[in-house]
Amino acid sequence: MNVCIPVNEPQHGASPVCAHFGSAPAFLIVNTEVGTYQTVVTGGQHMCGAIGTLQSAHVESVIVGGIGMGALNRLAAAGIQVFAAQHATVDENLAALKAGQLPLMSLDGACAHHGHGHGHGQGHGCGERS
């Protein structure tokens, strides 16, 4: 399965999970079956472009520290599950996903507005904006 985790600095499994999907400078796409890591630099692309990139990479799930309602809805419409990060690093969250310990992100857990701090997930590395 291909899993995408927004990160500030791609350091494979040791990468800290970015605080917010929409402000991540890079996505780390992990093939959990073979253990490969692929970095996709977002380059500030519009959210529709980012979701298209994830679809092209056959991503089935995303693990996020925070995400806006619009992006959450677009990912759901694309058939991509969104899980709430519960740990600081990529590998810790992947282990929790494999163990069935990551909750699905709900609309109630999504960020409703810009500029607020995130109380969910492990917001490390990217700043606190939507």
pLDDT tens digits, one per residue of 6-65: 998 888 889 999 988 888 889 999 999 999 999 988 766 556 567 888 888 999 999 999
Write down the pTM of the prediction: 0.81
Ramachandran angles phi, psi of 49, nearest 5°: -65, -40
Q: Which domains does the chain have, with CATH numbers?
A: 2-43+51-109 (3.30.420.130)
Higher confidence at residue 23 or residue 2?
2
Per-residue pLDDT at 115: 40
DSSP3 helix / strand / coil % (the chain, rounded to 5)? 25, 30, 45
Q: Quick check: 124 and 16 in contact, CB under 8 A?
A: yes
- For 101, the enclosing helix (H) or strand (E) is none
CA dist., res. 89 & res. 34, Å (int): 19
Per-residue pLDDT at 123: 38
CA dist., res. 63 & res. 1, Å (int): 13
